[in-house]
Amino acid sequence: MQQKIAFGDSIARLGAPLAWLAVAALLIAGCRPAGDDLVTTRLFVMATVVDLSLPQSSIEQEPDLIGKIEAELRQIERDYYAWGDGELAALNLALTGFQAFEASSDLVSLLQRSQFIASVTGGAFDPSVGALVELWGFHSSEQSDAEPPEDDEIAMVLERMGSITSLVVSPINNTVSPIVDFIPGEDRPVERVFTLDLGGIAKGAAVDRIVERLEAQAVTPALINAGGDLRVIGEPAGRSWRIGIQAPREDGMLGTIELRHGEAAFTSGDYERYFEHDGDRLHHILDPRNGLPVGHTQAITVLAADGTTADAAATALFVAGPAEWRQMAEALGVDAALRVDASGQIEMTSAMRDRFRPSTQAGSDIIAAAD
Ligand code: AMP
Ligand code: MG
């Protein structure tokens, strides 16, 4: 496979650890007929490495194609980063000041989708966690002191946190407004700080946006791989898209899955961004209900028909935990999901079991392959 490498300027922004690259190693299996050339172009954007594998002929037909995709990804990176100067940052500012905000239709639909997922998951997935993400220092690549916040700081943030479910999002005029509560007996509103953080869903939305563009131009087959979170279009002639699921605590793979046309595979893992403190791994996926990094799960991989669902569902099921994750997957319409618990044991839904081929060494750790 030919590879063209393009360096962007924004990798330093969130400073993704290189481990992100290994979330799901990609294998393209089968024999390779002549003339079927996929060219992989690497971009550093949205704090990760995005590999676009497109047919040589599509790039020749539209030499601007990669440039347009890159520009779109950079725009999404800017717009959907809560601590920058784009649209989401402006929205948070307006909401905290009790103001309505006129948003782009793309942001409005992503907020609506997020509200829906927040309500279906009982708040396990909730972009309102931004203020907590900031308190723990996971919003920035500079992990300032690698110390956990104090309990009373967490309690204070939880108390003042404005929730995505307390917003009125109107697709008719594209406005987003806070519902303002008043302090009983006083003529003043309850102050809320809105730091909506779309980090748990935006990568999926970005991948979907690129897939839409490519499909509109009949570009097929193609693979968009954003740091191991990926979606495919079509199938390479005589071959298949086979992805490997990274083992959370060691080099190597738990096993492989073959993806079908249009499918997305996204993983949320506690190894993607973390620091260690007193022997605990304190990582970037937080339970919005108690403000703490989730301790019962190492990784969740989800297959879905689109990237937005797969991304948000992986984050939600990560938070859900042993008793709830299967039920929550069902409520989200997700059939195929795999969970690695805190002790490294693997369980999966029956739809995932039908698709997953364990690597030999992981086979012995799979304890609950059936529903
Ligand atoms: P992912 O890797 O897709 O699971 O996304 C993790 C990112 O989503 C974190 O870095 C945070 O920015 C954000 N996040 C953390 N916890 C949650 C949560 N419970 N719900 C929604 N987003 C979250
Ligand atoms: Mg996610």
Q: What is the pLDDT of residues 217-273, one digit of tens each?
A: 999 999 999 999 999 999 988 888 999 999 999 888 999 999 999 999 999 999 988
Residue to mutate, 135, 290, 315, ligand 1, most ligand atoms under 8 Å from C-beta = 315
Which ligand does the CA of 319 lie closest to?
1
Does 130 sit in the ligand 1 pocket, CB within 6 Å? no
As a whole number of angstroms, the distance between CA 329 and CA 99 comes to 35
Ligand 2 center–CA 269 separation, angstroms: 9
Ligand 2 center–CA 105 separation, angstroms: 21
Q: Which atom of ligand 1 is nearest to the CA of 272?
A: 2
Which ligand does the CA of 125 lie closest to?
1
Percent of the chain with pLDDT over 90: 74
- Torsion sign over Cα 262, 216, 43, 202: negative
Question: Which residue has the least CA distance to atom 22 on ligand 1?
Answer: 200
For the stretch 342-365, pLDDT in tens is 999 999 999 999 999 998 655 444
- Predicted TM-score (pTM) of the model is 0.89
As a whole number of angstroms, the distance between CA 362 and CA 367 comes to 10
Q: Are 255 and 362 in contact (CB under 8 A)?
A: yes
Residue 47 has pLDDT above 70, yes or no: yes
Q: What is the pLDDT of residue 361?
A: 57
Percent of the chain with pLDDT over 70: 86
Q: What is the pLDDT of residue 84?
A: 95
For the stretch 126-142, pLDDT in tens is 999 999 999 999 998 77
In the structure, what pLDDT confidence band is assigned to residue 76 with cuts at 50, 70 and 90? very high
Name the residues around ion ligand 2, CB cutoff 5 A: 200, 311, 314-315
Question: In terms of C-beta density within 10 A (0-12 exposed, 13-18 middle, 19 or more buried), how is residue 18 classed?
Answer: exposed
Residue to mutate, 13, 157, 197, 198, ligand 1, most ligand atoms under 8 Å from C-beta = 197
Take residue 278 and report the two structure tokens written for it: 């007193």
For the stretch 7-41, pLDDT in tens is 222 211 122 233 333 334 444 444 444 445 899 99
Q: What is the pLDDT of residue 15?
A: 23
Q: Compute how many other C-beta atoms are within 10 angstroms of the C-beta atom of residue 366.
A: 18
Q: What is the pLDDT of residue 30?
A: 44
Does 134 sit in the ligand 1 pocket, CB within 6 Å? no
For the stretch 293-341, pLDDT in tens is 999 999 999 999 999 999 999 999 999 999 999 999 999 999 999 999 9
What's the DSSP call for residue 22?
G
